[in-house]
Chain A
């Protein structure tokens, strides 16, 4: 049985994928919790991940969907980076393979954490191992040339949209990853690189006893990027690659991932989706599908948070709940990381995937189970 774990990190992403064959990978890593703040309900991510890793000190793969802070924060404290000694040492977690979008290599003037992650990605690409870069090879051409390399030398490390990531396959791993983004189109048109539009978006297809479960892991995809993805996927006749049983919402339930307008006069409490996004959500959803929003709790109408421009937004949430999930059995279908199992005490959302497709784990943790899952208080 494979599992996906989404951590309560506020508006930030980290998804741990564990496969039947004991392989483990992360999609993004963002340690958002304020150290020492007992009122911060966001999870202590490094502690939680290490509890899961046990004696193991590596992930088979770690994907950084893009270099925004809420997808990489404090990575340089957690991971063992090859490019500099100061990011190495006891207790750091190795990445057998690092996945980054091409932008993470080519982007200029990165700052802070993004600069460190970029340095690691560049180092690995120069070493020609331990990395996969997501985009068309030609996009990297000039950077490679500047660094005295050719495209042919690193072609095997580059995964283009419309391909499967060669690292995993269904016969060996029970899962395959189909890449939807980034693709070359935007980069050709725009002079500047825009992280949210050029982030990694994949469809993971899990297979267990002949049953397939499809999971779309959207990064911070905007409605424009969705439109591109939908159109190009349809153009190639790959519609099934946008089917989904489980959707990790883009951009922490921001309305901008649905459409240009947060709400309209006609639809004051619900974001109207663009045509392409509507197709993605309403035509491509599978029976009894589920949605995960990696975000703070959805604000109540009229609250301070509701007025904020920052996600999560109530209006797109209403669209997902009412039009996509059809207001049916939302209790285990509409899953907001900071709301599960309750707002007072959020815990990681664990989704098991097997021949029954996705099951949201609801393991009770009281009594003995509660005692043995944590350290005891200090005894005198």
Chain B
């Protein structure tokens, strides 16, 4: 072998004598001499033919500015094994740099390249000799640029490991360096110890006895190159790796040992766990990395090692304890450097954090808006958890209901939660995602009658950035829309057949309130054909209680609710990030599963003076429509009926739309008599299409050109007639007159009620 390269074991064989299929295939390709950038140097056989090695020279595409010292020509050994394990690709350079994406081997050289992130068994289907060679060249090329390995990617897989995995706190890198050495509590993550999954958490202060492991976190100074260059087999080797990076591992262990080495009864008396001596020791080494030009750390490697022996044995091996017990003070001898303490490398992963959550959901960063979610039923529970698990929102969860068995058909949470308050369940589940953070508040109350929770609830609502109504109740939605808080209101609900999802989102400045948006939605139902049938209930045998057009019947499939809940989650996220008001609907086609998005236009309400204790909501869409109808009929007068809703509770009149002049009306230049052909049927249709939320609320007519909207003596008679009829309904009278300068609205009386 050429000078400067690491010797490869085995006897040299001819390519034709190879027996392992993949080795044969790669050698055959290279021998054809059709590859410009890879040349076969030699083939070797070893381990009685169980391993075959191809020595190959590859040309590397490398830039002028390189992150790592990768050469134009790199010599590698590819080790194929007879059992068809993943071929091991080793650099034969004895000075190969410590780059990212190297496998951790027992020895420092030869370096073993980590070519693939996927499982070898999954790769086999796509594996061809030329792709394999190209993948090796790609590894070198990207490593030369320093772009193979993203900082946030998990660390290199471990070749040498007993298969244990440990979950460490996600902020181990960033947490305050309050003490040099942190002690963590380690337990098995689940009941099944065969999972080999350990969970390391910060001690809570409560005494925890008999834990199988104790972990110490030590920190190295930022280094330009990786600190752990191969898998250390003993504590002593690990110490030697860390020492040049300013971390005296043995010293730190000896310091920590002061607390552990006493006799069990003393430990017990001090409130320590006397069994700690029987635990096994885990060392978590945090090794920050920096670039050559900077001094601050840019990312960190984290390595976890587990001893095979007990803490007591480790203390003996580092000179802090006698073989029969007792704490040793003083300078430990040269023989007490942890050489007998064997180590195993653990795969290290991080606990879930909001940052990780956002990242893994494809978002830049978590969103810290304070969100009060009201209503955690089928739709609400799914939608809220979907947002929360992406690191979206700081939540307060409000729902009085208890999870009942029949809820299980569609609710996010399962049978184990039956009997718990839905708000508590969601709070616990959301909190469990991020155990390092305060758990979301749960307020198990009815927002319409909060009772003892009134104060807590109103404080939460006042402090919120967003009030998210998922209640499936029009009454709750209107209540939330009008209560005192500067929070933006967003409402998401399903139609009765769960084919449509609707989002109403106020603009950030709250110029259009959620209740106004609700009535603009109704106008959309009346005027936009693509929304036809939105509130019509086609399912049979449905029990429905008054005023609620949104509550879901019991017989709709969970798949529909889940699908629309997912859309709702995304829609809420987008609505929050956008400052504008929106009314959007998504309609599911039950046959093709296609979803159609429908936008209903939004309008700012006009500012109108209140009439007595009544206020009125009118917007430009209606005003324009009335003006257009007048224009179309000039010089004659025209008119029609007004559609909308009198909210008796809030004393608010919403004027939404009009039914224009019926065909039998009399329309003269100075006279208008509204006809009635088909009017009753049309009013009924409107009523049905809006589930009773929009009805007849009054009359309007136009005045001729050059006239104002002041009522004439005839108009006074009409108003009296309206007043009489509406009084029977218990509603106020409403009349609008459209003149040159637009409409005037008269509510309750012609003098006072002019709006």
Contacts and interface: CB of A to CB of B under 8 A. Distances in A.
A288 B63 CA distance: 9
A347 to B, nearest CB: 8
B130 A365 contact: no
Contacts of B73: 329, 331
Interface in A216-263: 245
B137 A364 contact: yes
Contacts of A366: 34-35, 130
Interface residues of B, number: 23
Nearest to B138: A364
Interface in A315-329: 329
A361 B38 CA distance: 14
Nearest to A246: B64
Given A360-B61, A362-B137, A366-B130, A329 B72 contact: yes
Contact of B63 (A333, A359, A363): A359
Contact of A364 (B64, B128, B130): B130
A289 interface: yes
Main secondary structure of the interface of B (DSSP, over half): loop
Contacts of B134: 364
A279 interface: no
A362 B59 contact: yes
Interface string B60-90: 1111111000011100000000000000000
B36 A333 contact: no
A333 B39 CA distance: 19
Interface in A260-287: 286-287
Contacts of A245: 64
Nearest to A350: B61
Interface string B22-46: 0000000000001111100000000
Interface in A58-82: none
Contacts of A347: 36
A67 to B, nearest CB: 34
A181 B141 CA distance: 37
Interface in B83-135: 128, 130, 133-134
B36 A362 contact: yes
Contacts of A211: 65
Contacts of B35: 364, 366
B72 to A, nearest CB: 4
Contact of B37 (A287, A333, A362, A367): A362
B64 A357 contact: yes
B145 interface: yes
Contacts of A355: 65
Interface residues of A, number: 32
Contacts of A288: 64-66
A341 B62 contact: no
Contact of B64 (A289, A345, A362, A363): A289
Contacts of A354: 63
A342 B60 CA distance: 15
Given A341-B36, A362-B59, A364-B130, A213 B72 contact: no
Given A329-B71, A342-B36, A362-B36, A356 B61 contact: no
A256 to B, nearest CB: 29
A367 B62 contact: no
Contact of B61 (A329, A342, A362, A367): A362
A356 B66 contact: yes
B72 A333 contact: yes
Given A287-B64, A356-B66, A357-B65, A364 B37 contact: yes
A313 interface: no
B138 to A, nearest CB: 10
18 contacts: A329-B71, A329-B72, A329-B73, A332-B60, A341-B59, A352-B63, A359-B61, A359-B62, A359-B63, A360-B61, A362-B36, A362-B61, A362-B137, A362-B141, A364-B35, A364-B130, A364-B133, A364-B137
Interface of B: 34-38, 59-66, 71-73, 128, 130, 133-134, 137, 141, 145
Given A288-B65, A362-B59, A362-B61, 4 more contacts: A332-B59, A352-B63, A357-B64, A364-B36
